[in-house]
Structure 1
Amino acid sequence: MGIFSGLITLPLAPLRGTVWVAEQVRDEADKELHDPAVIRRQLEQIAEARREGTIDEAEADTAERELVARLIRADRNEGT
């Protein structure tokens, strides 16, 4: 990049930085959403909440189904 084009695009630098940060946050969120270890921990938390009675059976079943579906998708994507 030449000095002239660098000066012209300088006002866009904060925007490029913001976009980079947003991409990093998105990537981390995707990793956590599809990380089997995180999903298993969440399943354990639901099981504990069920034992303690802080979540009812219907809520626990719904949450577990969603997490198991995510776990299956994560396993399939790992194999790809």
Structure 2
Amino acid sequence: MLFKLLFAPVLGPIEGVSWVANKLLEQADVATNDLESLQKQLLALQLAFDMGEVAEADFEIQEEEILLAIQAIEDEEDEDE
């Protein structure tokens, strides 16, 4: 405790930068997981359609929503680079 108080002016900025970096990595993981999740949803939807569990009209609507979401994530990634 005393150590932290004495070295707070030195370690504070370092810990702050480390915290920000960790938060950025978490956000990158979330975006990647979202993309993977959407791709899995699209695959599951395709399988359900192929097995006759989903009507063609419903399939097309849901497929378009998922593809638009995937495209939005990919566009955000392209803008960040």
How much has 1:35 moved relative to structure 2? 1.6
TM-score, normalised via structure 1 length? 0.56
Residue 58 of structure 1 corresponds to: 57
Q: Deviations over 1:13-69 (max 9, x none)?
A: xxxxxxxxxxxxxxx9xx47x721111100000100001111000000000000000
Residue type of the partner of 2:42?
L
Q: Using CA pairs below 8 Å that are at least 6 residues apart, which structure has the higher relative contact order?
A: 1
How far apart, in 1, do the equivalents of 2:64 and 2:41 lie? Answer: 12
Residue type of the partner of 2:53?
T
Aligned length: 51
Give the unaligned 5+ runs of structure 1. 1-27
Identity among equivalent positions (%) equals 20
Residue 17 of structure 1 corresponds to: none
TM-score, normalised via structure 2 length? 0.55
Give runs of ≥4 in structure 1 deviating > 2 Å: none
How far apart, in 2, do the equivalents of 1:65 and 1:51 lie? Answer: 17
How far apart, in 2, do the equivalents of 1:68 and 1:51 lie? Answer: 18
Give the unaligned 5+ runs of structure 2. 1-26
